[in-house]
Amino acid sequence: MLFGVVARDAGLDILQTIAMSVLVIAGASQFTALALLQDQAPVFVALATALAVNLRMAMYSAALVPQIGHARLGLRAIMAYLMVDQAFAVAVRT
């Protein structure tokens, strides 16, 4: 909800705000990209920075291979989409 308010204040229309919320799950990436776009940075720079912030998700997936590597591709894709820092912490504790 906070990102929606900040994005609207930054000038994104409702469709852009919803699209960014659906496509960019990590809040840190959303706020980083939005700040760069507000500062008139090129879109490429904002996308590259958001990708760099999200690289921790690659480490999460590598760490979870022993637990979920045998699952079907569709199930792994859903788990990857829903992965957040807190879910990873719970997954590695079990």
Look at residue 60 in the predicted model and tell me its pLDDT.
87
Look at residue 88 in the predicted model and tell me its pLDDT.
87
∠ CA 10-42-19, nearest 5°, is 50
Concatenating the DSSP letter of every residue in 25-50 gives: --HHHHHHHHHHHHTT--HHHHHHHH
In the predicted model, is pLDDT for residue 25 greater than 80? Answer: no
Return mean pLDDT, the chain: 87
pTM of the model: 0.66
**75-90 confidence digits (pLDDT tens):** 988 888 788 888 888 8
